[in-house]
């Protein structure tokens, strides 16, 4: 099942990147992205970053690596807690 969900999510992420201009026209600018990512085109770049993030997350799900990635990210926080419990 993770193959199908991952594949659909990767397609959605790629479409967000490809059609960022149309998404910008449909939903408008996002002030946060305009403030921190540039004066003009900040929202467009923000939509592309969201698309890349969605693609990456669903690629991890497609490859069934999402649990390993979460443990890699949270490992430095969880290891000291496990040692303290022993």
Per-residue pLDDT tens over the stretch 16-61: 999 999 999 999 888 888 888 876 778 899 999 999 999 999 999 9
Output the pLDDT for position 86. 63
Q: What are phi and psi of 37, to 5 degrees?
A: -115, 10
């Amino acid at each position: 099942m993770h193959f199908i969900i991952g594949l659909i999510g990767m397609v959605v992420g790629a479409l967000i990147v490809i059609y960022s201009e149309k998404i910008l026209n449909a939903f408008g600018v996002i002030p946060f992205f305009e403030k921190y990512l540039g004066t003009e085109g900040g929202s467009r770049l923000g939509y592309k970053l969201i698309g890349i993030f969605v693609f990456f997350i669903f690629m991890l799900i497609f490859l069934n690596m999402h649990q390993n990635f979460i443990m890699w990210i949270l490992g430095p926080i969880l290891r000291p807690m496990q040692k303290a419990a022993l």
